[in-house]
């Protein structure tokens, strides 16, 4: 159930509540992820880090979040 102070977004196919007015980077931090360690797609569009810091989430937005993993 969503209240006026929260919104619901879809992150990697799951419904997740977020504080209203949160940026994508704030959403990531709240969920234990660093913007420096992920690639984010917002409503079907890949974002750079500056965009992820500037975009404020809206109810019903869709995020795909992929962790960057280094390896050999």
pLDDT of residue 55: 98
* Beta bridge mates, 38: 67
Q: What percent of the chain has pLDDT over 90?
A: 88
Residue 45 within a domain: yes
Region 42-71: mean pLDDT is: 95
pTM score of the predicted model? 0.88
Residue 43 within a domain: yes
Comparing CA positions, the residue from 42, 48, 39, 44 lying closest to residue 68 is: 39
Residue 53 within a domain: yes
Q: How far is CA 70 from CA 12, 56, 67, in A?
A: 21, 29, 10
Alpha carbons 49 and 66: distance in angstroms, whole number = 13
Sheet holding 6-11, edge to edge: 14-19, 6-11, 62-67, 38-42, 45-46
Count other C-beta atoms under 10 Å from residue 55's C-beta: 18
Q: What is the CATH number of the domain that holds 35?
A: 3.10.20.30
Question: pLDDT tens digit string along 2-35?
Answer: 556 999 999 999 999 999 999 999 999 999 999 9
1 falls in which pLDDT band (50, 70, 90)?
low
Mean pLDDT, all residues of the chain: 93
């Amino acid at each position: 159930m969503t209240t006026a102070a929260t919104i619901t977004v879809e992150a990697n196919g799951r419904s997740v509540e977020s504080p209203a007015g949160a940026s994508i980077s704030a959403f990531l931090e709240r969920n234990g992820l660093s913007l420096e360690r992920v690639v984010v797609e917002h409503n079907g569009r890949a974002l750079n880090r500056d965009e992820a810091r500037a975009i404020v989430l809206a109810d019903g937005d869709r995020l795909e979040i992929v962790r960057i993993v280094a390896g050999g």
